[in-house]
Structure formats: C-alpha cells, structure tokens
C-alpha cells in the first residue's frame, strides 16, 4: 500500500508578462487501488498538476509539498521520480529522434527496475502488451513516437504504463483526441494495470466520456487552480449533464455553494 500526498501545492510559471500562479493551494491524497478523476475546464491547472508531479522544469513550486510514502518527491529529479514509481502518461508525447521503441522500452525498464529485464520474458511481455493495445508489431522498430498518429501515441503511453508497473499513474488527458474504439482500447489497458492491485490512478480529463470506461472512486473539480468541489462518481454524472458553467471562473467555493443552494431552493 502506497500513498501519494499533495498538500497545499502552489505552482507558478514564468511568462513574458512575469510570474503567473497556476495552482493556488491544491491538496489531494491518493492511495494504492484508488482511481481519482480530476476534471475541469481548459486552463484550470489540471495538466499543470500532472506535469508538476512528474517534475517538468517549466513549473515552479512556490509552496506546499508532494510526498510518496513520506518521501519528498519535490526533492527528486525527474528520473528519480519515475524510478520511485510515478508515471505520467503525457498529453502530447514527444517524438524522440534516433531511438527505437525497443531500445527505449528496454532502457527505461532497466532504469526503473535497477536491472535489465530477462530478455526472453521481456520480449514476450512487450509483444503481448502490444497485441492487447492493438499496436502493430513493427512499431518496435520505429523511433519513439516518430510518425505515430495521436491515437497511436496515446496507446504507446499506456503500453509503457502496463510494462513499467508504476505505483501511481497520472494520465494527462489521455482520452483527448481519441475515437471511441481507441478510447476503449486505452481504457482497457488502464483497467488491466489497475486490476493488478498495486497502482493508484490520477485521471485528468476534460470530458466525462472516459469515465464510462474507467470508473473513478473520487472526482475532484478543478477551477482556476483550486479544487472547488469533490465527490464520488455521481459528481461526474452531474458534470456530464451540466458542464462546467456553474463554476464561474475566478469564483470560490462559496459562490458555488450559494449557487447550489439557489438551485435547490
């Protein structure tokens, strides 16, 4: 059992207009076996949270903490975080020239496990995982993400998730740009990884569509860098019907509570 704990996280970025605060005090605790969905309108800071956990250099943590089983994640370099068990499935996976998928997957697996995987079982595992995600076998010979379609890139992210077996998976809008078939394939992959029972999942999404295939235990609504509402799966259903309009941007939770009260009256 592991715990990823985010406490009062404030994050800013440097822009040409000066420093801009994106996350304004986010707290969140995820445990092994749990699936948390983070939902919110564009620009609410969802992806910033994902990238900050992974350690992207663009984001500056100004205050707050992130710990993994008590260890200070913010003190770790990007690769150390991955080796500690954090995995970010990226919204826009980059193409890496010159590195074949085979070489990349084996190198990463070796780095994460601290030892090279046994060649025979590894090759078999990769093949099997690729088949389940409907990824053509010849992808292993191609360079990482090079020339892959948007859907193919997302499937390859989930392939890595299944092979690297992280303690916590952060899925940054993995569903965006996928057609229904691809969405199902990708969701099945996440569910398989989850079913092994050793992973917690932070699912970041703009749409509720993916939540038909991946069932969240908790839903957190992000607006303007803060969690404005939290609840169970039923909150997602409500968002599906009502959208984000009732969370007026810039408004605090108090406004929403008032709006809710008015709606019930």
50 part of the interface to another protein, by CB under 8 A: no
158 part of the interface to another protein, by CB under 8 A: no
Closest distance between another protein and the C-beta of residue 99, in Å?
A: 5
| Binding string, residues 107-136; x marks residues near another protein by CB under 8 A | xx--xx------------------------
**Among 40, 45, 55, 200, which residue interacts with another protein (rule: CB under 8 A)?**
55
Q: In this chain, which stretch among 82-90, 173-181, 194-202, 225-233 interacts with another protein, using CB under 8 A?
A: 82-90
Q: Say whether 98 sits in a helix, a strand or coil.
A: coil
User: Which distant-in-sequence residues (6+ apart) come within 8 Å of 192 by Cβ?
Assistant: 132, 162
Q: Say whether 246 sits in a helix, a strand or coil.
A: coil
Separation CA 39–CA 216 (nearest Å): 11
In the bound state with another protein, the residue whose beta carbon lies nearer, of 154 and 208, is 154
100 part of the interface to another protein, by CB under 8 A: yes
Q: In this chain, which stretch among 22-30, 71-79, 217-225, 236-244 interacts with another protein, using CB under 8 A?
A: 71-79
In the bound state with another protein, the residue whose beta carbon lies nearer, of 106 and 220, is 106
98 part of the interface to another protein, by CB under 8 A: yes
Q: For strand 168-172 and strand 60-68, is the pairing parallel, antiparallel, or unpaired?
A: unpaired
- What are the C-alpha distances in Å from 100 to residues 72, 138, 141, 144, 251? 33, 11, 6, 6, 48
In the bound state with another protein, the residue whose beta carbon lies nearer, of 15 and 77, is 77
198 part of the interface to another protein, by CB under 8 A: no
90 part of the interface to another protein, by CB under 8 A: yes
DSSP secondary structure letter of residue 70: T
Separation CA 168–CA 171 (nearest Å): 10
- Sign for the pseudo-dihedral over CA of 232, 233, 237, 242: positive
């Amino acid at each position: 059992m592991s715990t990823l704990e985010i406490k009062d996280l404030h994050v800013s970025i440097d822009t040409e207009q000066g420093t801009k605060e994106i996350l304004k005090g986010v707290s969140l605790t995820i445990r092994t076996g749990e699936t948390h969905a983070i939902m919110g309108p564009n620009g609410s800071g969802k992806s910033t949270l994902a990238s900050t956990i992974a350690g992207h250099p663009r984001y500056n943590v100004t205050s707050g903490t992130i710990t993994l089983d008590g260890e200070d994640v913010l003190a770790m370099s990007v690769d150390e975080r991955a080796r500690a068990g954090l995995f970010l499935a990226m919204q826009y996976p980059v193409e890496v020239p010159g590195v074949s998928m085979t070489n990349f997957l084996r190198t990463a697996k070796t780095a994460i496990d601290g030892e090279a995987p046994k060649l025979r079982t590894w090759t078999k595992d990769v093949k099997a995982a690729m088949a389940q995600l409907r990824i053509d076998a010849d992808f292993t010979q191609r360079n990482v993400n090079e020339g892959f379609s948007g859907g193919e890139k997302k499937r390859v992210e989930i392939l890595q998730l299944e092979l690297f077996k992280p303690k916590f998976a952060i899925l940054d809008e993995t569903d965006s740009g996928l057609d229904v078939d691809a969405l199902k394939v990708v969701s099945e992959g996440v569910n398989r990884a989850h079913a092994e029972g050793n992973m917690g999942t932070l699912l970041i999404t703009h749409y509720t569509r993916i939540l038909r295939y991946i069932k969240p235990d908790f839903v957190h609504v992000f607006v303007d860098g803060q969690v404005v509402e939290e609840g169970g799966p039923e909150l997602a259903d409500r968002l599906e019907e009502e959208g984000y309009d009732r969370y007026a941007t810039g408004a605090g939770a108090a406004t929403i509570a008032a709006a809710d009260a008015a709606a019930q009256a």
